[in-house]
Amino acid sequence: MLPEDWEPIYLEIIEDLNIDRSSDENTARMLKALMMNSDLITDDNIPMKRKATVFGGGDCLEKDILSIAPRGTLIASGSSVGTLRGIGILPDIIVTDLDGEIGPQIETSRSGAVTFMHAHGDNSYLIQKYAQDFLGPIVLTTQSTPDNIVSNYGGFTDGDRAVCIARHFGAKDILLLGFDFDRPAEKQGSDRKIKAKKLWWAKKIIFDHNERGVSIEMPR
C-alpha cells in the first residue's frame, strides 16, 4: 500500500481511536535517530516470494499451523515469534512495534531475519529500551508521514501491517495463521475494548482494502 492510499484510512483510525498524530511522528523521529547507524536495508533487499504466510498472535496459532502448513516467505507479527520458535519455525521477516515477548524477537533478528520495526505514539519507551538490541537487517516504519529512512507500507497493528508489507513486496497468495478477529488474545495491561477495535480495523485493512490479484486464505 502506498502512503497516499493509506493516509485516508489512517485519518479514520486516528479519529476513531483518538490518536495523536504528532505523537506518532515524534516517536518516528526518535526511532530514526536511535537506529541511524544500524543495519538499515532498502526495498531492493526484502525477501518476498509469490506465496507468503503471515502469522498473527492469536491463541489459535498452533492449531492453525497444524491445520495448514506454512508456505512461502514466513512473516511473523512480533507477538507470534516466541510461539513459532517454540515449535521450530524461524520467520524470514518480523513485523513488530516491540510489544509482547521481546527476547525471541531479538534472537530471531540476530539469526538474520529482516525486522520491520514500527514507531507509534505509545511505544517510545519500548523503542528506547529494546530497538538497538536488534542486530539483524532492519526497516524502520511509521503509520504517519514517511521519509527517506522511515517507510510507510500501510497497516495499524503488527498483523495487518505484515499483510500490507507482504502485498507491497509482491506476495500474491497470502496465508493467514493465528488470526482471530473476534476474540482478542489476553495481554497484561491491555484494554479489551480498545483491542477489539484494533482487530476490527485490522480485518478491514486486510480484506476491505485488499489489492486486485491478491488471494488471502485463512483456516476455516
Which residues, other chains included, contact 92 with Cβ-Cβ below 8 Å and sequence gap of 6+? 47, 73, 74, 75, 113, 114
pLDDT band at 76 (very low <50, low <70, confident <90, very high): very high
User: How many angstroms separate the CA atoms of 132 and 146, rounded?
Assistant: 21
Using the predicted structure, report yes or no on whether residue 191 has a pLDDT greater than 90: no
Cell of 88: 521450530
Check whether 50 has a pLDDT greater than 60: yes
pLDDT band at residue 18 using 50, 70 and 90 as cut-offs: very high
- Single pTM value for the model: 0.96
The residue-averaged pLDDT of 195-218 equals: 96
- Using the predicted structure, report yes or no on whether residue 6 has a pLDDT greater than 60: yes
Predicted pLDDT of residue 81:
98
Beta bridge partners of 175: 53, 217
What are the phi and psi torsion angles at 159 (to 5°)? -65, -50
φ, ψ of residue 163 in degrees (nearest 5): -65, -45
CA distances from 101 to 82, 130, 144 (A): 7, 11, 25
